[in-house]
Every structure is written in structure tokens, then in C-alpha cells.
């Protein structure tokens, strides 16, 4: 069946930069239209205007991507060549992203609504993530095992095969790199579905992949709905691994589908409701900016956000006074205005969810210290909002809001603070503000989470592993740990 090429669309970004946006599915190193011809509009969340119409794939397109990926994995040297060759491609890709850092940052802000400063940070992390993966390409090796003179035992690490990768809209380009970079470094091939709301940068990156020398079929980007493209990926019998980032509800259904079809290897990075604890001896001047980046960075749309703040009673009044002033000084608005700290909420659905949660909090009897309202009447902007006088069983304390809304509770002893923090089904991030090293280490060990930040928050480094426990999922991204999730270990035992 012949595939119809998809056009590039000339886009002028709000900062005046222009570029050619691919609008098609990227399969087998070509941009093509969806087999049923469908497209979906992409919205600028700061203005609610349509930016572009992007092809929306179907199950048939996933099947075609699987054919191409399967050919690349089985019939070419991609998986079996000297890994240094794959490393060279990934280093080249990192260089191309770095050359386009300003442009890709602007695309990210236009598509997602986050501020330009934040987008630059995200694209910088993409570069690091690609370079890390390139460096690890030939460093993930098996081991030899001594079992006495009668045998020789060793293990080898091999790629898994076709990896289906499904990502959300809050970090569109960073998540694309977190998924593709380790998969490729280990010799796998990828079919990635970006979120319907934010497909632009993944497609731009696809074009760079081709330029960097990624062979046809190794990276395939298939935008489309979760129901169509997402399900087709999780249920495909030839796909051997699914890596998903998104909500816990969808993650659970993916785990079931992936297991029931062909027992896919599965990693899940899901939601969170992380606790940020402030102890009596914390340095207030340093703590306040950490609380702000903990919950208001990316307008609160980070799975690891410190959305529950717990303050020890001795420092409570002083800290809350300083926190309130600082939050009221947060500038919210146009992502391209460099003086703004907080941009737009990514999409209408999420915008309405956040406003609904603010109403729920008020109905439950939580008090608002500051914020609580929409800003303006065009674009998805919400005031940074602090709830206090909350009860631990309120929905605003228990459920993930995924927006610029935080609850504050008081605790007396370390044990009580930790108990409140751990009373959650989630276990992604956690924060500790203290000047006492013993308190810091003791609390860090007691928190039931995948990551703990001490005297910092939402502070990522591509060398440090990230991933949740409990209902925040399983598996790690980044660090050397991620490569375990993109390889199989084969044991070889020889009788001498």
C-alpha cells in the first residue's frame, strides 16, 4: 500500500522565529499522512488558537510502524553492530538538538504553554540525556560468574526488540528523549506516541533523527489518540516492551493490556501527590524558593510536584508569612514574556480539572491563603493557589490535581510528619527542608518514595535515576538504572 507524504507547515513563533513543522506521522524515516487521512488541531494554550493540524494515526498506522520497526530490528545491523556506531548517531543527534536549542525551546513553549526559560532547561536536559545514552551504549555489559573449575558462566545484555513508548503533554520533548535515548543506545527500536495535545517537538526531533543517521524504522513517531494509537501499541503482539508515562488510571489499564496480550515487559511512570516537609530548623530564605519550584514550576504540572506541604509547628507562622508574599509575587502569563515565572496550563481539559479541584477544596472547607481564580479570559492561566487549614482526608490533599495548587498542613514531631507524608497511595517524589543532617537523612530513609530532594526540589539530572514506588509506578528513567529496563540478561553456562 502506498503512503501519502504529509506536508511541512511554515510556522512563525511568537518570538519571531520561523521554521518548517512536519505535520505527518514519522514512520520508516518518512512523514506520511494517517491512512484514514485524519488530522487533529494543536492548540496554543496561551491564546486558545489553532497552531497546526497534525496527522492523527490509527491502529492501521501502528501496524505499519510495527512492520517497519520489525524489519529494522530483525533484518538490519542496528541491534547487532558495534554499539560505538549507535553511540555516534546519538552523539550527532545531541549536537543537532543543541544547535536547535533556542528554536526547540520556542516550539515547546508554543505547544505546551510553559515559559521559555523552562523550555530551555528541558531541551538542555534532552541534550544531556542523549549524550548520556550515547556514552552508555557500549558500557552496559554482562558479567562472568565463578562456580568452580567445572564450569564457565557469563551473562550478556541484549536489546528487547520493538519498544512502544507512550508519553504525556507536560514535558513533551524531555519525555521523548527519556524514552528514545536509552532504547536506541541498547539497540532497540521505538514506536513512540506523543500526547495528542503536544506532538510538535517530537516530530521536529524525528526530522533531526533522520539527519543524524538513525536508520529507517528505528524511530517511529505516531501521534494519535490514546484510545486508537495507544491501545494499538499496548495490544500489539510484536511489541515486546511498553514504557508509559501518564496517569495512574491509564497506567493500570496499560499494564493489564500489555500483560494479557503477550506479557510485555512494562515500565510505568505515573501520578504523584508528593510531600514537601519543612522542619523547624530550616533556612526560611532558602526554603521558600524551593517550595515555589516544588509546586509552581511548570504551573504544577509535574508528576513529582510537592503538592502537599507539611510544616513543623515551630516555624509555621514565620514560614507561611514569607511563603504567601513570595507566591503573591509570582508573575503568571505569556510564556514568551521572559519576566513570567508561570505560563499557561497545557490544555482546556486540565485547566477545567484544576478549577474544579479549587471548588472542591472550598466545598470541603479548606481555606485559601492566596489565589484560587482564573487569570484573564483568554488562555489557560490560573493563579498560584495555597490551601491551608486542610484535613488529611480531604480530596484536595489526597488526589493529584496536577496544577498550581498546594495544600499546607502542620506537624509536630518528625515521626508525625513522616506518617502524614506516607499516608498516600502515591510514592514518586518528596522534599525535606532542614539544616540538620541527621534529620535530613533520617527523614529521607523513612519517606516511601522513589526520589527524595533535600534543600532543593524538582531538581533533575540525567545521571540520577527517577521513578516511583507504590501506585506511582515501577521502573526507572535516567541514571545507569534505565538501561536495565531496555535490555534482557541472557545467562550462558558452559561445562568444561
What minimum distance in Å lies between the beta carbon of 341 and ligand NAP? 20
Report d(CA 462, CA 128) in Å as an integer. Answer: 6
The CB-of-462 to ligand NAP minimum distance in angstroms stands at: 14
Q: What is the C-alpha to C-alpha distance for residues 138 and 185, in angstroms, rounded to an integer?
A: 8
Q: At its nearest, how many Å lie between ligand NAP and the CB of residue 246?
A: 3
**Residue with Cβ nearer ligand NAP (199 or 379):** 199
Tell whether residue 485 is a contact of ligand NAP (CB under 6 A): no
226 touches ligand NAP (CB under 6 A): yes
What's the rounded Cα separation, in Å, for the pair 251 and 402?
16
Of the residues 67, 70, 231, 448, which one makes contact with ligand NAP according to CB under 6 A: 231
Residue 43 interacting with ligand NAP (CB under 6 A): no
Which residues, 247 to 276, sit near ligand NAP by CB under 6 A?
247, 250, 253-254, 269-272
Nearest alpha-carbon partner for 25 in 57, 50, 63: 57
- Closest CA relative to residue 140, chosen from 116, 123, 121, 160: 160
CA of 452: how far to CAs of 90, 363, 411, 430, 482, in Å?
30, 32, 19, 5, 18
Tell me the closest approach of the beta carbon of residue 8 to ligand NAP, in angstroms. Answer: 23
Residue 193 near ligand NAP by CB under 6 A: yes
Task: Identify which range of 98-106, 165-173, 311-319, 452-460 contacts ligand NAP by CB under 6 A.
Answer: 165-173
The rounded distance, in Å, linking the Cα atoms of 122 and 460 is 10
Shortest Cβ distance from residue 284 to ligand NAP (Å)? 29
Got the DSSP string for 413-467? SHHHHHHHHH-SS--S-EEEE-S-HHHHHHHHHHS-SS--EES--S---TTS-B-
| CA 232/CA 319 separation, integer angstroms | 50
Shortest approach of ligand NAP to residue 457 CB, angstroms?
A: 15
Q: Which of residues 332-361 bind ligand NAP (CB under 6 A)?
A: none
Q: Is residue 39 a contact residue for ligand NAP (CB under 6 A)? A: no
435 binds ligand NAP (CB under 6 A): no
C-alpha–C-alpha distance, residues 210 and 27, integer Å: 11
Q: Which residue in 357, 402, 453, 460 binds ligand NAP (CB under 6 A)?
A: 402
Using the rule CB under 6 A, is 195 a contact of ligand NAP? Answer: yes
- Tell me how far apart the terminal alpha carbons of the chain are, to the nearest angstrom: 54
400 binds ligand NAP (CB under 6 A): yes
CA 423, CA 206: separation in Å to the nearest integer?
42
Q: Decide if residue 420 touches ligand NAP (CB under 6 A).
A: no
Q: Which residues are CB-neighbours of 354 under 8 A, at least 6 positions away?
A: 300, 345, 382, 401, 402, 403, 404, 405
The catalytic site residues sit at: 269, 303
Residue 246 sits in the site that holds ligand NAP (CB under 6 A): yes
Interface with ligand NAP: number of residues (CB under 6 A) = 31
| Nearer of residues 103 and 183 to ligand NAP, judged by Cβ | 183
CA–CA distance, 277 with 432 (Å, rounded to integer): 5
- Beta bridge partners, 27, equal 30
Nearer to ligand NAP, 279 or 426 (CB): 426
**What angle (nearest 5°) sits at the alpha carbon of residue 141, between those of residues 140 and 147?**
145
13 secondary structure, DSSP code: -
Cell readout for 182 is 536509552
Please say which residue, 169 or 388, places its beta carbon nearer to ligand NAP. Answer: 169
- Per CB under 6 A, the segment of 96-104, 108-116, 191-199, 488-496 that binds ligand NAP is 191-199
225: contact with ligand NAP by CB under 6 A: yes
Is residue 300 near ligand NAP by the rule CB under 6 A? no
Kindly tell me the sign of the dihedral angle through the C-alpha atoms of 208, 213, 216, 218: negative
- Footprint of ligand NAP (CB under 6 A): 166-170, 193, 195-197, 225-227, 230-231, 234, 245-247, 250, 253-254, 269-272, 303, 400, 402, 428, 468, 473
Amino acid at each position: 500500500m502506498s503512503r501519502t507524504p504529509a506536508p511541512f507547515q511554515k510556522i512563525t513563533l511568537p518570538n519571531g522565529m520561523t521554521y518548517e513543522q512536519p505535520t505527518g506521522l514519522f514512520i520508516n524515516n518518512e512523514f506520511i499522512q494517517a491512512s484514514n487521512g485524519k488530522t487533529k488541531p494543536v492548540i496554543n494554550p496561551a491564546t486558545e488558537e489553532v497552531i497546526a493540524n497534525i496527522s492523527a494515526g490509527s491502529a492501521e498506522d501502528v501496524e505499519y510502524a510495527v512492520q517497519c520497526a520489525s524489519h529494522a530490528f530483525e533484518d538490519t545491523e542496528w541491534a547487532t553492530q558495534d554499539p560505538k556506531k549507535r553511540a555516534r548517531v546519538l552523539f550527532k543527534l545531541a549536537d543537532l538538538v543543541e544547535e536547535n536549542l533556542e528554536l526547540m525551546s520556542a516550539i515547546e513553549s508554543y505547544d505546551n504553554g510553559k515559559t521559555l526559560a523552562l523550555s530551555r532547561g528541558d531541551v538542555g536536559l534532552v541534550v544531556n540525556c542523549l549524550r548520556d545514552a550515547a556514552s552508555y551504549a557500549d558500557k552496559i555489559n554482562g558479567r562472568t560468574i565463578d562456580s568452580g573449575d567445572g564450569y564457565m558462566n557469563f551473562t550478556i545484555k541484549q536489546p528487547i526488540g520493538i519498544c512502544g513508548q507512550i508519553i504525556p503533554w507536560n514535558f513533551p520533548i524531555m519525555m521523548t528523549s527519556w524514552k528514545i535515548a536509552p532504547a536506541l543506545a541498547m539497540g532497540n527500536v521505538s514506536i513512540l506516541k506523543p500526547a495528542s495535545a503536544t506532538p510538535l517537538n517530537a516530530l521536529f526531533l524525528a526530522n533531526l533523527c533522520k539527519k543524524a543517521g538513525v536508520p529507517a524504522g528505528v524511530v517511529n513517531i505516531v501521534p494519535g489518540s490514546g484510545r486508537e494509537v495507544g491501545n494499538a501499541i499496548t495490544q500489539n503482539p510484536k511489541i515486546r516492551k511498553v514504557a508509559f508515562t501518564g496517569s495512574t488510571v491509564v497506567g493500570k489499564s496499560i499494564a493489564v493490556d500489555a500483560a494479557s496480550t503477550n506479557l510485555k515487559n512494562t515500565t510505568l511512570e505515573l501520578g504523584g501527590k508528593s510531600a514537601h516537609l519543612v522542619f523547624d530548623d530550616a533556612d526560611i530564605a532558602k526554603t521558600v524558593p524551593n517550595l515555589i519550584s516544588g509546586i509552581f514550576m511548570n504551573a504544577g504540572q509535574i508528576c513529582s510536584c510537592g503538592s502537599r506541604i507539611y510544616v513543623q509547628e515551630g516555624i509555621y507562622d514565620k514560614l507561611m508569612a514569607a511563603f504567601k508574599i513570595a507566591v503573591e509575587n509570582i508573575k503568571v502569563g505569556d510564556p514568551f514574556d521572559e519576566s513570567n515565572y508561570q505560563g499557561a496550563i497545557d490544555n482546556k481539559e486540565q485547566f477545567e480539572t484544576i478549577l474544579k479541584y479549587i471548588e472542591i477544596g472550598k466545598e470541603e472547607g479548606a481555606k485559601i491563603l492566596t489565589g484560587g481564580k482564573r487569570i484573564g479570559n483568554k488562555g489557560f492561566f490560573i493563579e498560584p493557589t495555597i490551601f491551608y487549614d486542610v484535613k488529611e482526608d480531604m480530596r484536595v490533599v489526597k488526589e493529584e490535581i496536577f496544577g498550581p495548587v498546594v495544600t499546607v498542613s502542620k506537624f509536630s514531631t518528625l515521626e508525625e510528619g513522616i506518617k502524614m507524608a506516607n499516608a498516600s497511595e502515591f510514592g514518586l517524589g518528596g522534599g525535606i527542608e532542614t539544616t540538620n543532617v541527621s534529620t535530613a537523612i533520617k527523614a529521607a530513609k523513612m519517606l516511601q518514595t522513589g526520589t527524595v530532594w533535600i534543600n532543593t526540589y524538582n531538581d533533575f539530572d540525567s545521571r540520577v535515576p527517577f521513578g516511583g514506588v507504590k501506585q506511582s509506578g515501577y521502573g526507572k528513567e535516567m541514571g545507569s538504572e534505565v538501561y536495565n529496563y531496555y535490555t534482557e540478561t541472557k545467562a550462558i553456562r558452559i561445562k568444561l
